[in-house]
A and B are shown apart, each in its own frame.
Chain A
Amino acid sequence: MTLLEFTGCTLTAFGPALSMFIVTIMNDPVRVIILIASSFFWLLSLLFSSIVWFVFPSKQQVWFGVIVSVLVQELFRYFLYLLLRKAERGLKRFVVHSLVSNNKHMLSYVSGLGFGVMSGLFALINILAEVGGPGTMGLRGGYSAFCIVSSIFTAFIILLHVFWGILFFHGLNTDNKNFILYVVISHLVVSEITLLNQYYFNTLALCIVFVITLGSGYYAFKTAGGHLPIIDRLKNQITTTAAEN
């Protein structure tokens, strides 16, 4: 029974990321390298925020630690951007036929996924390690849905990192501060909301994070130049009706 739970939770959390990896990244070695590099940058940010946490005197204030950690992560996303900018020219010359440079959002998508997968792994690995054993949540406090809720959160966070990556890099490319501000603020909000979980407000937290994911996703989709036929058609209808009026 716990094996089923383990498998279910793992695939819930990492299923979307795994599919994205297989469909869009696996075939291009340069993308894999960038994925690993961005994961490494996330690890660096973890190291840095851990040092801050270690030095920081009042450890009861978790919310403050979360703020520091989010800011550090965004800082390292910026460093990653700088690095990729520098490397991009060299990459272009090195691999002529690579797909990296075909789409300027491809870099940000891959690096965002790298960030997301690594943070998702760190968030969930403790829980997954315990879920595999003979026991499951709920002996002393905790609710039986804890693992699946955590997995869904993780899946959201991975997707969010992808979207944030696209938005953040786009903001830097176009010198648009609004994008960057949106990414930092929504990241802060999402991370602080997870603190609600310890008070059993998980449904509320899950709903809020879901809405933010959906919004960010649409935003990133638009930014990357995506078109949804249904939305276009709806928009056309609205504009035509508006024109008719």
Chain B
Amino acid sequence: MISVRLVSFVCLHFATFTLLNCLSVKDQIYANIIADNPCFLRLNGTNQFGCTSSRFGNVGTLHLVINSTDLNWLFNEGKADPYTVALTPKMFNREVLQSIELSAKVNGIMLLMNGTEQEVINNDNLQNTGFSPEDTCPNRYSDVNSCPMKPWNPYGTDILLKSWSFPIFVVYDQNTIKDIIDCFKNHNLPLNNQNDQSLCALELKSHMYAAVDSKTCLRRTMMSYQNIRPIKFCDPLGDKNVYWSLKELRPNTPDKSVAIVAARLDATSMFQDLAPGAMSTATSIVTLMTTANLISEMLSYNDADNFSRNIMFILFNGEAYDYIGSSRVVYDMLDGNFPNDLIKLNQSHIGLFVELSQIHYDKEVFVYRPIKNNASENVINFMNIFNKSLSDDGFSVSESKSTSIPPSSLHSFLKIDPKFPGIILTGFRDQFKNKFYHSILDDAENIQYGNNSTIAQTIANISTSLSNSLYTFITNSTYTGLKQANSSYVTKLLDCYVKSMNCEVFQSLTSPLHLPDNPPNYYISIDLITNTITSLSRLLFASFGSKVINEV
């Protein structure tokens, strides 16, 4: 019988030499799937949400769900449970997931992105139905006003904020998807015959140690530190806010003398390492960066020093999760600790707060203001110049009539000061135009970024108008120079923030370091890690408005 052992030995190591079916026993039983993006578990003060598998993985009979007929068969007639369901984005909505959860027959879900992204969107008609796992009113519990009748995110399915009892994976690899579909067709069909044959099954493993709520989980982690081998059950979310000011901040800042231009630095999605956040956040970041660059060119360091007013650009981090970035800034302001205990900026020093949110490629900008009447002089001046400048470029600028303001960092400031002089510049009126808010599809194609795209020009125009208005805020005079935001520079920045971090601008900042070749992941991630995109944004800010020193 030694021969059999030798056969398996040979097959293991010399599979290429032998002609026929010569895989090891294990390879004849199992095949690996390329799917590295599980849905993960998050906790808040009272609940857990997201998904986890059991400790050693969930195994379920594969079932391909194309339409609701397949699903009904599974619920009513499927006998080989537990099942693992492979479905397309069309079926990946709250109703389906909820019915799957209730049926208790399914212990895993595989989301298949079959084809290129455009094909997926067209096949599943996502352009009309939308695909957003976020709440209809994102951050509804930390906003100052309640969710409006027409919710901000009408396409929101809320699945990001539910606790699912099964793991969910997304598969992009086309060969893997083909393998999965073939496996189902070869082994699991015909359906009425499932009891008589070996069936194709999937094992999904994404075990999360976290459970119950933040308090419990952190306590468990602390307790385990007494052990010889401590276990981390969970980590707090956290990263860094990034700010840059036109000139250095000094103590004893006069009241209302600082303008803040803000945007959020993070986005989120259901799946680990996949938070492309192009329209959710990247367009706003690029607009902010372009503006910062332009204003630093309009007002050189020495010129700016002649005026008492200052501009601060802030990228808030973690805003997708109840504004943890901006609320930290507010907390520090109240504590006399922002940005440090010498300068002590607080909300009374801020004369103008402009937030950029979901800048759209369409040539229209909507302005939201918490205070409609009796707005401060700064805000009115800013609005006038901004309106005029953008309208000259063929934009339509209008102010929203809505009484509530959309999800934004401004909420954190309004909580401590209802008269806070803030405005929000967005690309949507009353409801998000973004159909893929906080989803894995919110990438370069969602902002129609490609060759001859309008987004770069739109951003350049908005940046120019914004810079003109900010110039007036500082100098109290109209900008007469010829400096304008350059759409080719905007394109370079979009490359970095939407396509690949290994781009020209970032390379020039980090030149000997090798940068990852994928689009940035905008998920805030855990406190111990500073995201690459955060560090790179900081470096980018640092490169603006530098004074050239000839002799060192």
* Chain A residues proximal to chain B, CB less than 8 Å: 46, 49, 53, 59-60, 62, 65-66, 69-70, 73, 119-120, 122-123, 126-127, 130, 133-142, 144, 146, 150, 153-154, 157, 191-192, 194-195, 197-199
Docked-complex contact B1 and A139, CB < 8 angstroms:
no
Docked-complex contact B31 and A139, CB < 8 angstroms:
yes
Docked-complex contact B14 and A66, CB < 8 angstroms:
no
CB B94 to nearest CB in A, in angstroms, measures 30
Docked-complex contact B3 and A195, CB < 8 angstroms:
yes
Interface residues of B, count at CB 8 A: 33
Docked-complex contact A139 and B4, CB < 8 angstroms:
no
- Of the candidates B21, B29, B183, B203, the one whose C-beta lies within 8 Å of that of A130 is B29
- B486-509 with Cβ < 8 A to chain A: none
Docked-complex contact B5 and A122, CB < 8 angstroms:
yes
24 examples of A-B residue contacts, CB within 8 angstroms: A59-B13, A60-B10, A60-B14, A62-B10, A66-B6, A69-B3, A119-B2, A120-B1, A123-B1, A133-B30, A134-B201, A136-B29, A137-B29, A137-B198, A138-B28, A138-B187, A138-B198, A139-B31, A139-B187, A140-B23, A140-B28, A150-B4, A192-B3, A197-B7
Q: A60-B14, A126-B8, A139-B183 are in contact. Are A194 and B3 (CB under 8 A)?
A: yes
- Of the candidates B3, B8, B29, B59, the one whose C-beta lies within 8 Å of that of A139 is B29
- Of the candidates A59, A69, A140, A144, the one whose C-beta lies within 8 Å of that of B2 is A69
- Of the candidates B22, B187, B203, the one whose C-beta lies within 8 Å of that of A134 is B203
CB B478 to nearest CB in A, in angstroms, measures 72
Q: In the complex, A135→B183 CA distance in Å?
A: 14
- B149 interfacial by beta-carbon distance below 8 Å: no
Docked-complex contact B8 and A142, CB < 8 angstroms:
no
Q: In the complex, A127→B24 CA distance in Å?
A: 9
- B26 interfacial by beta-carbon distance below 8 Å: yes
- B27 interfacial by beta-carbon distance below 8 Å: yes
Question: Chain A residues with Cβ under 8 A from B25's Cβ?
Answer: 126-127, 130, 137, 142, 146
Docked-complex contact B26 and A130, CB < 8 angstroms:
yes
Q: In the complex, A194→B2 CA distance in Å?
A: 10
Docked-complex contact B6 and A141, CB < 8 angstroms:
no
Q: Which residue of B lies closest to A73 (CB)?
A: B2
Q: In the complex, A191→B29 CA distance in Å?
A: 25
- B528 interfacial by beta-carbon distance below 8 Å: no
Q: A62-B10, A134-B201 are in contact. Are A123 and B4 (CB under 8 A)?
A: yes
Docked-complex contact A53 and B201, CB < 8 angstroms:
no
* Chain B residues proximal to chain A, CB less than 8 Å: 1-8, 10, 13-14, 17-18, 20-31, 59, 183, 187, 197-198, 200-201, 203
Question: Chain A residues with Cβ under 8 A from B22's Cβ?
Answer: 198
CB B76 to nearest CB in A, in angstroms, measures 23
- Of the candidates B2, B13, B197, the one whose C-beta lies within 8 Å of that of A122 is B2
Q: With A122-B5, A123-B1, A195-B3 given, name 12 new contacts (CB 8 A).
A: A65-B6, A66-B6, A123-B4, A123-B5, A126-B25, A133-B30, A135-B201, A136-B198, A139-B183, A144-B198, A150-B4, A191-B1
Question: Chain B residues with Cβ under 8 A from A73's Cβ?
Answer: 2
Q: In the complex, A119→B20 CA distance in Å?
A: 26
Q: In the complex, A212→B197 CA distance in Å?
A: 33
Q: In the complex, A218→B1 CA distance in Å?
A: 21
Docked-complex contact A119 and B28, CB < 8 angstroms:
no
Q: In the complex, A150→B28 CA distance in Å?
A: 15
CB B517 to nearest CB in A, in angstroms, measures 32
Docked-complex contact B200 and A139, CB < 8 angstroms:
yes
Q: In the complex, A46→B28 CA distance in Å?
A: 26
Q: In the complex, A160→B243 CA distance in Å?
A: 81
CB A67 to nearest CB in B, in angstroms, measures 9
Q: In the complex, A57→B435 CA distance in Å?
A: 63
CB A218 to nearest CB in B, in angstroms, measures 21
Question: Chain A residues with Cβ under 8 A from B8's Cβ?
Answer: 126
Q: In the complex, A192→B1 CA distance in Å?
A: 9
CB A75 to nearest CB in B, in angstroms, measures 13
Q: In the complex, A153→B59 CA distance in Å?
A: 31
CB A39 to nearest CB in B, in angstroms, measures 14
CB A71 to nearest CB in B, in angstroms, measures 11
Question: Chain A residues with Cβ under 8 A from B23's Cβ?
Answer: 140-142
Docked-complex contact A140 and B31, CB < 8 angstroms:
yes
Q: In the complex, A136→B28 CA distance in Å?
A: 9
Docked-complex contact A154 and B1, CB < 8 angstroms:
yes
Q: A120-B1, A194-B1, A199-B20 are in contact. Are A141 and B7 (CB under 8 A)?
A: no
Docked-complex contact A198 and B1, CB < 8 angstroms:
no
Question: Chain A residues with Cβ under 8 A from B59's Cβ?
Answer: 134
Question: Chain B residues with Cβ under 8 A from A62's Cβ?
Answer: 3, 6-7, 10
Docked-complex contact A126 and B198, CB < 8 angstroms:
no
Q: Which residue of B lies closest to A63 (CB)?
A: B3
For the complex of A and B, the 8 pairs showing the least CB-CB separation, nearest first, are A142-B28, A123-B1, A157-B1, A141-B21, A135-B29, A191-B3, A66-B3, A134-B59
